[in-house]
Amino acid sequence: MTARIIDGKALAAEVRKEVAEGVAALVRDGTAVPELAVVLIGDDPASHIYVSNKVRQTEAVGMRSRRFVLDAATTQRQLLDLIEQLNHDPAVSGILVQFPLPPHIDTARVVTAIRPDKDVDGFNPVNVGRIAAGMEGALVPCTPLGVMRLIKSVHEDIAGLGALVVGASNVVGRPMARLLLQELCTVSIAHVRTTDLERRCKDADILVVATGVPGLIRGKFIKPGATVIDVGITRIKSGAGTEKLVGDVAFEEAIDVAGAITPVPGGVGPMTIACLLANTLSAARMEAARSKAAEADVTDAAESTEGLGRPASRNLQRNDFNNPH
Ligand code: GUN
């Protein structure tokens, strides 16, 4: 069997097109022009390239972007003050602080400081909790969001399938497992202390690998016909001073066994920024809905007779706590 290659570039272009249409609709009806604020500290060349790509793609779909490039010596207090200012700026729909941060800044503190409704990375503990509880209104980390889209390009319905996520990071593995659970997959997570990885992989109808260990997953680990998503991306020397990008899956072996597989590069990578744009649009839409509801509440309150009016606030999020799944 030769696996179908899942084209992440084409799917990312589809996501960007959908986002551009969503942005145009918000602008057309005068609701909002979504805006992404990106904060970069220091002069790590790779981070500068990532941020430039984010800004370019944001503007290409019709959103505004604001880039803050801060000196490497910026204090944690100064960064938190900037985040606070952006949290309160009504023009800003989404905030992204580029990682890694300099060692004198506490990343967890920064992640927690970003207002959950503007947290387009989906790293704030409030969003982590919303995803874990299957609540609506969560902003979902971009890579797992992109992976779900890739998986859904292969499977109409993944309920009941066995999924194994290899890698338990907060950025990919853990949110990935929660999203698969939300779709009613039977989910396991493997990590550095997992024993018998090969046997566990062989059980998986959907295998998502995010370890950063090149070639960790061999062809013989894969269940015939499985969908394999390779999140790993490592730059290795390929002789004569050249470099190439490789994933965590031994692609040439896996392609003969899997039913569908993402290539590296050109699989998961392009989806991540596309999903950042989708999250920024979602944040802008949710903010517009909250403002509209707040305006309606003011009208309701003005019209209501004491004790007889409708409640002054409404819960916009349907929290399905009774869902037995
Ligand atoms: N650095 C590398 N990837 C990411 C990402 O997804 N979000 C942020 N904020 N920084 C990163």
DSSP 150-219: HHHTT-S--TT-EEEEE---TTTHHHHHHHHHHTT-EEEEE-TT-S-HHHHHHT-SEEEE-S--TT-B-G
Question: Does the residue 19 lie in any domain?
Answer: yes
What is the rounded distance in angstroms from the CA atom of residue 45 to the CA atom of residue 315? 44
Buried/exposed code over 262-299 (b: 16+ C-beta within 10 A; e: otherwise): bbbebbbbbbbbbbbbbbbbbbbbbbbeeeeeeeeeee
pLDDT band at 318 (very low <50, low <70, confident <90, very high): very low
Q: Is 233 in the pocket of ligand 1 (CB under 6 A)?
A: no
Given strand 35-41, what is the order of strands in its sheet?
64-70, 35-41, 94-97
Whether 316 has a pLDDT exceeding 60, the answer reads no
Residues 86, 221, single domain; the answer is: no
Whether 134 has a pLDDT exceeding 90, the answer reads yes
Which of 214, 249, 267 corresponds to the end of one domain?
267
Residue 301 has what pLDDT?
Answer: 78
Residues 151, 169, single domain; the answer is: yes
Q: Which ligand 1 atom is at minimum distance from the Cα of 141?
A: 6
Whether 311 has a pLDDT exceeding 50, the answer reads no
Question: Does the residue 127 lie in any domain?
Answer: no
Find the 98 Cα to ligand 1 centroid distance in Å.
5
Active site residues: 54, 98, 121
Residue 268 has what pLDDT?
Answer: 98
Find the 44 Cα to ligand 1 centroid distance in Å.
13
Which of 234, 250, 267 corresponds to the end of one domain?
267
Residues 172, 258, single domain; the answer is: yes
Residues 38, 23, single domain; the answer is: no
Residue 324 has what pLDDT?
Answer: 36
Residues 6, 106, single domain; the answer is: no
Q: Is 37 in the pocket of ligand 1 (CB under 6 A)?
A: no
Q: Is 41 in the pocket of ligand 1 (CB under 6 A)?
A: no
Q: Is 121 in the pocket of ligand 1 (CB under 6 A)?
A: yes
Q: How does DSSP classify residue 323?
A: -
Residue 74 has what pLDDT?
Answer: 98
Q: Is 95 in the pocket of ligand 1 (CB under 6 A)?
A: no
What is the rounded distance in angstroms from the CA atom of residue 256 to the CA atom of residue 269? 23
Residues 145, 263, single domain; the answer is: yes
- C-alpha dist (Å) from residue 306 to 295, 303, 309, 310: 19, 10, 6, 10
Whether 312 has a pLDDT exceeding 90, the answer reads no
Residues 168, 228, single domain; the answer is: yes
The per-residue pLDDT for range 281-290, each reduced to its tens digit, is 999 999 999 9
Q: Which ligand 1 atom is at minimum distance from the Cα of 142?
A: 6
3-state helix, strand, coil in the chain (%, to 5): 40, 15, 40
Residue 308 has what pLDDT?
Answer: 53
Mean pLDDT to the nearest integer, 15-22? 98
Which residue's alpha carbon is nearest to atom 1 within ligand 1? Answer: 99
Residue 306 has what pLDDT?
Answer: 58
Residue 322 has what pLDDT?
Answer: 38
The per-residue pLDDT for range 22-38, each reduced to its tens digit, is 999 999 999 999 999 99
Find the 146 Cα to ligand 1 centroid distance in Å.
14
Average pLDDT, the chain: 93
What is the rounded distance in angstroms from the CA atom of residue 12 to the CA atom of residue 94? 20
Residues 183, 218, single domain; the answer is: yes
Which residue's alpha carbon is nearest to atom 3 within ligand 1? Answer: 99
Which of 219, 240, 267 corresponds to the end of one domain?
267
Find the 265 Cα to ligand 1 centroid distance in Å.
18
Find the 80 Cα to ligand 1 centroid distance in Å.
18
Residue 199 has what pLDDT?
Answer: 98
The per-residue pLDDT for range 32-91, each reduced to its tens digit, is 999 999 999 999 999 999 999 999 999 999 999 999 999 999 999 999 999 999 999 999
Q: Is 142 in the pocket of ligand 1 (CB under 6 A)?
A: yes
State the residue range of the domain holding 262: 1-28+141-267
Residues 158, 223, single domain; the answer is: yes
Which residue's alpha carbon is nearest to atom 2 within ligand 1? Answer: 99
Whether 197 has a pLDDT exceeding 70, the answer reads yes
pLDDT band at 305 (very low <50, low <70, confident <90, very high): low
Cα atoms in the 13 Å half-sphere on the side-chain side of 74? 22
Question: Does the residue 277 lie in any domain?
Answer: no
Number of domains in the chain: 2
